[in-house]
């Protein structure tokens, strides 16, 4: 039984995140989506709301567990017996940060592998920050977030 942990801020969850999870489910038996409190990022949604959105997105999916955390990721991975950390890559701009993060996590626990997947091309430009910005200016982002997330966002002006 191989489990991966997919950490992130998910402020809010997007179809890019969903695509990463779906790819992860092809590689692992189960995935724990770990929502970081990330107070330094000053999230738009509090952690409970982010949890609710992710839980609603994957309702009924028995291979997915959702939780929040504020400690060290490797500790969480160890506590759940996770073999890997799952992350997504969009463009080269993601690479440097992800490379440093993976190297640091490997320093902390050499037994946990970081695994990267690429979401579908049409999601390469999708980020939570883009969703927050566009929706707060009245833009329509419905096609880029799970349906259950739409009611949480400022409504598009038409
Ligand atoms: P963090 O604060 O940890 O970067 P995010 O929620 O922004 O949290 O992202 C979590 C992970 O999902 C990161 O590895 C990020 O690169 C990946 N990710 C986010 N959006 C996409 C996307 N559209 N395509 C591929 N990977 C993505």
Asked if residues 7 and 117 have their Cβ atoms less than 8 Å apart, the reply is no
Neighbours of 10 (CB within 10 A): 26
* Predicted pLDDT at 78: 97
Q: Whose CA is nearest to atom 22 of ligand 1?
A: 16
Distance of CA 53 from the midpoint of ligand 1 (Å): 16
Q: Whose CA is nearest to atom 17 of ligand 1?
A: 88
pLDDT tens column, 112-140: 999 999 999 999 999 999 999 999 999 99
As a whole number of angstroms, the distance between CA 101 and CA 61 comes to 28
* Predicted pLDDT at 157: 66
pTM of the model: 0.96
Residues in the chain: 158
* Predicted pLDDT at 158: 62
User: Which of the listed residues 5, 6, 20 should we mutate to test ligand 1's pocket, taking the one with most ligand atoms within 8 A of CB?
Assistant: 20
* pLDDT tens by residue, the chain, 158 residues: 999 999 999 999 999 999 999 999 999 999 999 999 988 999 999 999 999 999 999 999 999 999 999 999 999 999 999 999 999 999 888 999 999 999 999 999 999 999 999 999 999 999 999 999 999 999 999 999 999 999 999 876 66
Distance of CA 155 from the midpoint of ligand 1 (Å): 24
As a whole number of angstroms, the distance between CA 53 and CA 10 comes to 9
80 is catalytic: no
17 is catalytic: yes
């Amino acid at each position: 039984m191989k489990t991966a942990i997919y950490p992130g801020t998910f402020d809010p969850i997007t179809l890019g995140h969903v695509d990463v999870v779906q790819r992860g489910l092809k590689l692992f038996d189960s995935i724990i989506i770990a929502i970081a409190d990330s107070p330094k990022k000053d999230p738009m949604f509090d952690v409970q709301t982010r949890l609710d959105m992710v839980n609603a997105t994957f309702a009924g999916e028995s291979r997915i567990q959702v939780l929040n955390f504020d400690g060290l990721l490797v500790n969480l991975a160890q506590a759940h017996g996770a073999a890997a950390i799952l992350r997504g890559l969009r463009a080269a701009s993601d690479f440097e940060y992800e490379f440093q993060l993976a190297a640091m996590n490997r320093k902390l626990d050499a037994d946990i592998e970081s695994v990267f997947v690429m979401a579908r091309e049409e999601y390469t430009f999708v980020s939570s920050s883009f969703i927050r910005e566009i929706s707060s200016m009245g833009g329509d982002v419905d096609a880029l977030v799970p349906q259950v997330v739409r009611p949480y966002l400022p409504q598009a002006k038409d």
